[in-house]
Amino acid sequence: MKKYIFFYIPYLLFVLTFVVLILCNSKADLHLWLTSFYTPVGDVFFRYYTYVGDWVPYLVIAGLLFYNYRMALFVLVSQLATGLVSIIIKKTWNEPRPILYFKEHFPNIQLHQVVGEHLHLAHSFPSGHTITAFAFFLALVFYTKKTTLHFLYFILALLVGYSRIYLSQHFAVDVLVGSFVGVLVTILCKYYFKKFPMKWADGSLRDVFSRKASCRFCYSRLKTYLCKLKIKYVVLRCVHC
């Protein structure tokens, strides 16, 4: 755990801060305060950055296949596991989203809405995007040796969580619980992942393609050599095949 303190310590501070804010403020007041810092730049940034908690991790997983199977597989497993937990909780507690909550309880209050952003009405608790983001970046932390990047990963995950509040898709409590689910499930995935050695997972697609290129090169050289000697050649396998 000490190896990941640059992620865990900031995360604990975030949790404590949000717990205090949630306990000391009503859901509506806290949401209005957290969304009061909107700017034109923020509208554009958070509208697109929020996708880091959506399909972006799967795009990264595809890229990781060329770097390391084990890392790609772990990120995928953590995403699928947290996604399943997210669905179960959302179906169990079908809480209204901010736009519906304010419409029912505070009809005179107009929430800030980002142009082009579709506001959902139901399944607010917890924030699925936040679960995905914290699971994704913590998974990267487990495979990143540079501790300075661990803090950066936390900030990137936190920005996804805040984007859900900024866009009025979720309340603060949704983001807090979402982050906890993402972190906890990913830690559990890491614990069970260690029990499966999977030596083949130390390779990558890059190794496969480089091996094929080497085989084609060997075969081409052999074919040329045999042709010069005017000897009929047969299909042979090099040591890399």
Positive or negative CA dihedral for 12, 15, 18, 23? negative
Confidence class for position 234, pLDDT limits 50, 70, 90: very low
Element (H, E) at 135: helix 128-142
82 phi/psi in degrees, rounded to 5: -70, -35
Confidence class for position 198, pLDDT limits 50, 70, 90: confident
The reported pTM is 0.86
Tokens of 175: 């983001």
Over 80: is that where the pLDDT of 175 sits? yes
Q: What value does the mean pLDDT take over residues 104-111? A: 95
Report the interhelical angle of 5-24 vs 172-193 (nearest 10°): 150
- Which residue intervals of the chain bear CATH 1.20.144? 2-200
The whole-angstrom separation of Cα 162 and Cα 237 is 56
Over 60: is that where the pLDDT of 41 sits? yes
CA angle 54, 60, 77 (to 5 degrees): 75
Over 80: is that where the pLDDT of 161 sits? yes
Confidence class for position 238, pLDDT limits 50, 70, 90: very low
When computed from its CA atoms, the radius of gyration of the chain, rounded to whole angstroms, is 24
2-200 placed in CATH 1.20.120:
no
The whole-angstrom separation of Cα 60 and Cα 77 is 13
Lowest mean pLDDT among 45-54, 101-110, 193-202, 222-231: 222-231
Collect all residues with Cβ–Cβ distance below 8 Å to 122 and sequence separation of at least 6: 94, 95, 96, 97, 100
Express each pLDDT in 2-38 by its tens digit.
789 999 999 999 999 999 999 999 999 999 999 999 9
